[in-house]
Chains A and B, each alone.
Chain A
Amino acid sequence: MAAKPKVATASLAGCFGCHMSILDIDERILDLIELIDFDKSPIDDLKEFTGRCAIGLIEGGCCNEENVRNLIEFRKHCDLLISVGECAICGGIPALRNTLPLQECFDEAYKHGPTVYNPSGQYPNDPDLPLILNKVYPCHEVVKIDYHLQGCPPSADTIWAALTALLTGKPVQLPYELIKYD
């Protein structure tokens, strides 16, 4: 039996809601497992790529340098890269900060916010913390993205329809009711 195509997934600056929606395909996940193997993904907790993947699913936009590195890795390892959900496509909720200067966001989050207790007045700055980007970027503004699945999150039906089409070599043609931005 030929090796099954591999699918990798990642959540960048997202809420894992899109991953929940992937799992929400319910019993169809059994069919999916017949079709594919999961590679690097929070679903199987695989931290590194084990090889070339047919499809990468990206949830979330790029809010920090770690997100960018991760996205680059996905682009390098995946034949097709899919932005899944509003955050990957337009920045989503994390991008609400994009209209404010970064310093103002930091001050609100770490100094002046009503629930903040921070007598030293310092921002968290462990060397292991990735640098934050000046704004949150949609994935397709950072690397080439092949498909976009809209929704917050995209419905399980949408994800299922797109995956099965791609895995069987058909074009992704979503019916009207599967394109939703909310």
Chain B
Amino acid sequence: MSAQGAAHIKAICKAAGNDPARLMDIAIAVQKQLGAVSDTAIDLIATHLKIPRVDVDSLVTFYAFFSKTPKGRVIIRLCNDVVDQMNGAAEVAAALETELGIRFGETSPDGAISLEYAPCIGLSDQAPAALINDVPVTHLDSGKARHLAQLLKREGTQARLVKTFGDGNNAHDLIRSMVVNNIRETGPVILAPYTSGSGLKKALALSPAEVIRDIKTSRLRGRGGAGFPTGMKWDFTRQAGGDQRFIICNADEGEPGTFKDRVLMTECPDLIFEGMTIAGYAVGAAEGIFYLRAEYAYLEKFLTAILTQRRKAGQLGQTICGKAGFHFDIRLQMGAGAYVCGEETALISSCEGRRGDPKNRPPFPAQKGYKGCPTSVNNAETLCCVARILECGPGWFAAMGTKGSAGTKLLSISGDCARPGVYEVPFGVKVSDLLKKVGADHTAAIQVGGPSGRMIGPKEFNRIICYDDLSTGGSFILFNKGRNVVDIARQFMDFFVEESCGYCTPCRVGNVLLRNKLVEILAGHGALEDLAYLEELGRTTKLASRCGLGQTSPNPVLSTLENFRPAYEALFKKSRGHEPVLANFDLQAALSQGSILAGRASSIFTPVNGSQP
């Protein structure tokens, strides 16, 4: 490493106070500055922070956005999730490869451009999409991809890539992105006009206990998917011992088909930060952490500016809004590409500058969270509701929605429909009514709640969106007749294999085995027994996994088996030849390499009827 590189690392570490808890920020800065966090860089960081090098190595190798070997100055990350695939990501990928002369996973010989896939970048409503370093490009096709590649080759930077900006704050000077909000339906709670400070002022007129009481009265439940009552979570956090408490906002939506937090951060950052501040007041925290996933780095400057603005307005910092003794501030914590960090204890690990491994529970974060202190982790959408509840009153909020599910819900709609985007709907909407709203006329299947949710068929389209019936974090991916649900399940399993942290056996191994079996079945090497195999393996993985990732990752397999069994059965071949060889054994594939090395075909096994045996 050059002396200059070493000096950069020293400066980066120093700027972070040589604090091991800031290791994420340090590694992010080094990756950005030097294009890699090399082994030498790892040594230097470890020396400056006075921690074992293996701890740095452990973090760097965990997150997808870090690389030990140099990447191109421009990294193209094409999203290859299900929706992007449906919208032609393969053609875009081919165009990029052809134009750049490199394959995915490679860097051009001059070190200018790297080509990679990203599992989810939060733009399923404008797919196919890619990130060019931090800059999102949307609605790609092969023609646009060629132009993009030519421009990047010519200019070597993404700086002049975006010429027209999206709606709303996407055109803000600090964002200047082509991303569009796609807000299709606003509601009375979240996507409604809001005067900054109005909820906070009302909260500060109450005691913290009264704020918690109001949140309880409003019957607000967590919007991330699990639906835990927010007031109760705050109460636990407040009542836990110790003199330091923390609020963490989880905006780490990393599940393909989910993008509502992107819109919230773009259009309602004040509402989120205000909700965090109210939460801080209620539980007695002095610090809040806003976790921003690496894929949304293009929003960092904007969000930072909003925080500065709030500090100037006296809404953050010391003696907030003149309330004696209430001090609270928020820092942004950047992520680095790890879906599992959406799990609240993994999120805390990441904020602490560690691998995004989930923690053992108990203790729960409300007892022992960030740095061992009581911590309330709340979804960004939940915190938006908080600010509005304080502004307009718990009764106003509780009157909306259904009996067990108060308020409204943001839905991220993508896939086969005329109007993908974000919808704010009151709880209680029927799925079939939603389909009409979004312009989906030929829907055969819906993945509800993202890959970790369930795939439902028409017989469930009369279900109601609420915690007591069809409970969801809000993602609906729509599939028309003709889509291959088994292949969709396989793609979701690819995602989980990629994103499992690997801590526990069932998730680390079970997901790989599930995925591999789907690949076999899709290749025509499945048999009826495989369905029982998948069911048992899926159930074991769910039951034994340590965190929510493995406890839900088999859902695409299990729910498609439940609701779309004929799609699997259609893939089984009646006669295979070479009986009694098992269907799963791919004899021709097993012979392929040996055949090439010998330069001759098998004289024992000839392909049956020209097909694979």
Contact = CB atoms under 8 A, between A and B. Distances in A.
Given A142-B581, A142-B585, A143-B580, A102 B594 contact: yes
Contact of A75 (B580, B592, B597, B604): B580
B578 interface: yes
A76 B581 CA distance: 10
A123 to B, nearest CB: 6
A130 B604 contact: yes
Contacts of B599: 125
Interface in A62-113: 64-66, 68-69, 72, 75-76, 101-103, 106
B582 A131 contact: no
B584 interface: yes
A137 to B, nearest CB: 7
Contact of B581 (A68, A102, A130): A68
B304 to A, nearest CB: 48
Interface in B583-604: 584-585, 587, 589-595, 597-600, 602-604
A4 interface: no
B605 interface: yes
A131 B602 contact: yes
A132 B596 CA distance: 10
A127 B600 contact: yes
Nearest to A124: B598
A129 B587 CA distance: 17
Given A65-B591, A131-B602, A106 B597 contact: yes
- Residue among A130, A132, A134, A142 with max Cβ neighbours from chain B (10 Å): A134
B585 A134 contact: no
A146 to B, nearest CB: 12
Contact of A66 (B585, B592, B604): B604
Given A69-B604, A103-B597, A134 B592 contact: yes
A134 B593 contact: yes
Interface residues of A, number: 27
The SS class assigned to the A binding surface is: mixed
Given A125-B599, A131-B598, A143 B590 contact: no
A129 B600 CA distance: 11
Contacts of A141: 582, 584-585
Contact of A133 (B581, B582, B590, B600): B590
Interface in B554-587: 578, 580-582, 584-585, 587
A144 B298 CA distance: 55
Nearest to A123: B597
A141 B583 CA distance: 10
Nearest to A69: B604
A72 B580 contact: yes
B582 A64 contact: no
Contacts of A125: 598-600
A76 B580 contact: yes
A142 B602 CA distance: 17
Contacts of B589: 134
Contacts of B590: 68, 133-135, 137
Interface centre among B593, B595, B602 (most CB of A within 10 A): B593
Interface of A: 64-66, 68-69, 72, 75-76, 101-103, 106, 123, 125, 127, 129-135, 137, 141-144
Interface of B: 578, 580-582, 584-585, 587, 589-595, 597-600, 602-605
18 contacts: A68-B604, A69-B604, A76-B580, A101-B593, A102-B593, A123-B598, A125-B599, A125-B600, A129-B598, A130-B604, A131-B594, A131-B595, A132-B597, A132-B598, A133-B590, A135-B590, A142-B582, A144-B580
Given A65-B594, A141-B585, 10 more contacts: A68-B581, A68-B590, A68-B605, A72-B580, A127-B603, A129-B598, A130-B604, A134-B589, A142-B582, A143-B582
